[in-house]
Amino acid sequence: MSYNLLSSRKSILPALISFVLIYIPANFAIAQSHEPIDRLLIITATGKHAFALEIAKTNEERAKGLMYRKSMPQDHGMLFIFHDERPISMWMKNTLIPLDMIFLSGEGIVTSIVQDTTPLSEEIITSDRPAQAVIEVNAGVTKKIALAPGDKIRHPLFPITP
């Protein structure tokens, strides 16, 4: 009986090691991925432009933002949500890709835009007017879609605007 138990343990150990070596790295990669979790529409004079995005709601998520990313698809971005409408300040510390920053009112209306920010810069970037949210997209996107202050964002976090 003890031989069978010992033999059984010896056959389980390699299977367990294989499971750990295969399963855990796969799940770790999924946990570390930056898959968009939501979608929004930006409505400009040139039409409706759909974006896939991640949402940064907590202080920790807002502090990390898009840091350390080497690239991002052109139709992706990150939405930063703040608790109240006020001047918002951002920076590019540890951010490797140039970005456009779109500052939004609590109603989802573009209040100001900062284009082509400098990667890795610690210069403070502040909204021209009070805002409650910021969308970061790849540099050049806001120019390509002809985004302007007063344009609207459609997303469930913002009330429907006229």
**Neighbour count for residue 134 (Cβ, 10 Å):** 26
Domain ranges (residues) in the chain = 1-33, 35-154
Are 119 and 95 within 8 A, CB to CB? yes
- What distance in Å separates the CA atoms of residue 19 and residue 21, rounded to the nearest whole number? 6
Which tens digits make up the pLDDT trace of 33-69?
455 588 999 999 999 999 999 998 888 988 899 999 9
Indicate the burial class of 22 (C-beta count within 10 angstroms; 0-12, 13-18, 19 or more): exposed
pLDDT for res 87: 95
* Mean pLDDT, the chain, integer: 83
Across the range 116-122, mean pLDDT stands at 96
CATH topology of domain 35-154: Jelly Rolls (2.60.120)
Indicate the burial class of 81 (C-beta count within 10 angstroms; 0-12, 13-18, 19 or more): middle
- Whole-structure pTM over 0.85, yes or no? no
Which residue has better confidence, 16 or 103?
103
